[in-house]
Amino acid sequence: MLQTRELLDSLATKAPLNNEILATTIDTLATCEEAVTACAAGMVTGQDGASMALAVALDLDCADSVLATRRILTRATGPNGALLAAQLEACLIACQRSHEECSRHSAHHEHCRLCADATRQAADACRQALAALRA
Amino acid sequence: MLQTRELLDSLATKAPLNNEILATTIDTLATCEEAVTACAAGMVTGQDGASMALAVALDLDCADSVLATRRILTRATGPNGALLAAQLEACLIACQRSHEECSRHSAHHEHCRLCADATRQAADACRQALAALRA
Amino acid sequence: MLQTRELLDSLATKAPLNNEILATTIDTLATCEEAVTACAAGMVTGQDGASMALAVALDLDCADSVLATRRILTRATGPNGALLAAQLEACLIACQRSHEECSRHSAHHEHCRLCADATRQAADACRQALAALRA
Amino acid sequence: MLQTRELLDSLATKAPLNNEILATTIDTLATCEEAVTACAAGMVTGQDGASMALAVALDLDCADSVLATRRILTRATGPNGALLAAQLEACLIACQRSHEECSRHSAHHEHCRLCADATRQAADACRQALAALRA
């Protein structure tokens, strides 16, 4: 999405990540946040709710970690990348755990398939941002 | 964005709004949330911080109201649209107030210009969703 | 809690509500947010998950509306109370709906009993804040 | 606060932390979230806004990291403490950074003094929870 990149380019912040990586990560996380929120809602209302309990909780955890990470990346405050790195690490774990659990339900639930895709892409984006931070 | 619509179509929820309107509103609000978060960060770090105090606070209020609205729309729980309508009303006011204030700074700050656009589109989306809810 | 009142007293904001009402509302909402988040987690992992689907979704909606309301009350921006009133209205509905649904499960689930109490108190706090805003 | 402990005791979750530590950490983080949100609002509207830009951004980052951590602790999902640990690490850094920056302004701003206290206590709570997780 062009807009996130444009927004970041209009800020005077000196982030420890360049705006191309920041914008890609933010947009991928936004898509992921929507997917886990919708998927959790779908699992809660489904007939097989009891067997989905772990997947629901992991999706809710993921939505909250992604939200914090997305906003902190948008502010990308100061030259110190320590908080960015730590929040990206937490987000990576949250996305991976949702991905693993929802992948097991992808055959029965279309929302789990979409969610497993979105969390895999978000985990990849976190990994790339972390690699760039440490470069 | 195709994905939000696909996600909503994969849920069995009977929302008081159809999925096309829901998906459009959710995506427009997600773009708005990013814009007000980035714009607030840009104003805080700018040289003219003191004169931007109201605009910063309105953008932060807007980000929080949009977040709640976006997640509640994604769950669009049950046939009862009362919460949806009330949260959309609050969100509409939050977007309008940010729009009015950031419009005044659009000439000096590119992030205010982008934010004024995004909040106007989000306010329009809230109005259309409210009209559909009441139809 | 003393601290919230102390914090608000240290701000120079001219809120449309006095700090005593603001602090009470914020603290009651914070307790409510914790209760609905915990209660939703308890219902998801319970054996009777399927019959709790609506209650889970209402608790998640409530947590998000309360979060936005709590932060907007803390900033209580400017003399204009329109956003405050609209967000409090949405929050009141969210708390009432969670209260009604969790009350039905209070006999079987201690977390629903605690949640029904917390959402009732939060709804009362919203009503009192709205009455003060309109006085 | 008694209520958080009661709520956690009513859940059947097998968290990797005991409920006493979980409840203390959650409540300390809730107090911190309120303090950084209020302090950021106070700094934005203050006369010396420009010199407070970093402190504002750190407080906003802290509020978002604390929110995610608080909700993930409340769900404390499953026997796997990896996400809990990573999110606590991020939160610890966010609280420390806010604490360091607001401490520098404690003499001039009462809200910075209250915020510096709250973020120090939150950082301590994160450290203790992390130590318990690793024990």
Distance CA D16, CA C117 (A): 28
Cα of B111 to nearest chain D Cα, Å: 17
Longest Cα–Cα distance in chain D: 51
B1 has pLDDT over 60? no
Q: Tell me: the pLDDT tens digits for D65-115? A: 999 999 999 998 666 789 999 999 999 999 999 999 999 999 999 999 999
Looking at residue A78, what is its pLDDT?
65
Only one residue has tokens 């110190």, namely A80
Which class for C27: exposed (0-12), middle (13-18), buried (19 or more C-beta within 10 A)?
buried
| Interface test with chain A among B11, B59, B70, B73, by most A beta carbons within 10 Å | B11
Closest residue to C42, CB basis, from D10, D111, D114: D10
Of the candidates D41, D50, D60, which has its C-beta nearest B50's C-beta? D50
Q: What is the ipTM, given to two decimal places?
A: 0.94
Domain for residue D58, yes or no?
yes
B48 contacts chain A (CB < 8 A): no
* A41 domain-assigned: yes
Q: Does C116 touch chain A (CB under 8 A)?
A: no
Output the pLDDT for position C135.
85
Instruction: For residues B78 and B34, give the distance between their C-alpha atoms in angstroms, rounded to a whole number.
Output: 28
Q: Report which residue type is found at A42.
A: G
Instruction: Please indicate, yes or no, if residue A10 is contained in any of the structural domains.
Output: no
Going by pLDDT thresholds of 50, 70 and 90, the confidence category of residue D38 is: very high
Q: How far apart are CA C24 and CA A93, in angstroms?
A: 37
CATH number at residue C72: 1.20.1270
C-alpha–C-alpha distance, residues B69 and D111, integer Å: 30
For residue D37, the chain B residue with the least C-alpha distance is: B60
pLDDT tens, position by position, for chain A (135 residues)?
568 999 998 887 677 889 999 999 999 999 999 999 999 999 998 877 668 899 999 999 999 999 999 999 999 866 678 999 999 999 999 999 999 999 999 999 999 999 999 999 999 999 999 999 998
Residue D116, in any domain of the structure:
yes
Residue C101 CB contacts under 8 Å (≥ 6 apart), including other chains: C54, C55, C58
Residue B96, pLDDT score: 97
Number of compact structural domains in chain D = 1
Q: Under an 8 A CB cutoff, do C38 and D67 touch?
A: no
Confidence of residue B2 (pLDDT cuts 50, 70, 90): low
Do residue B87 and residue C67 have CB atoms under 8 angstroms apart?
no
Confidence of residue D34 (pLDDT cuts 50, 70, 90): very high
Q: Is C68 on the interface with A (CB under 8 A)?
A: no
Q: Inspect the interface and report whether the beta carbons of D45 and B57 lie closer than 8 Å.
A: yes
State how far residue C87 is from chain D, nearest Cα, in angstroms.
17
Which residues of C fall within a CB distance of 8 Å from D115?
7
| Below-70 pLDDT ranges, chain C | 1-2, 13-14, 49-50, 77-79
Nearest by CB to A53, from C45, C53, C60: name it. Answer: C45
Instruction: Find the residue in C nearest to A41 (Cα).
Output: C57
Residues 6+ apart with CB under 8 A from B56: B40, B43, B44, D44
**Cβ <8 Å between D13 and C75:** no
Asked if the Cβ–Cβ distance from D60 to B57 is below 8 Å, we say no
CB contact under 8 A, C49 and A47: no
Task: Indicate the pTM of the whole model.
Answer: 0.96
Identify whether D93 is part of a domain.
yes
d(CA B84, CA B76): 7
Find out whether B106 and B34 touch, Cβ atoms under 8 Å.
no
Residue C12 has a pLDDT of 75
Work out the percent of chain D whose per-residue pLDDT is above 70: 93
Q: Is residue A9 part of a domain?
A: no
Predicted local confidence at residue C86, as pLDDT: 97
CA angle C75, C88, D62 (to 5 degrees): 35
pLDDT digits over B62-81, tens only? 999 999 999 999 998 666 78
Give a yes or no: residue A6 inside a domain. no
Q: Does B8 touch chain A (CB under 8 A)?
A: yes
Note down the domain range covering D65. Answer: 16-134
- Of B70, C57, D78, the residue nearest A46 (C-alpha): C57
C-chain residues near A101 (CB < 8 A): none
Does residue C109 sit within a domain? yes
pLDDT in tens, B22-47: 999 999 999 999 999 999 999 998 87
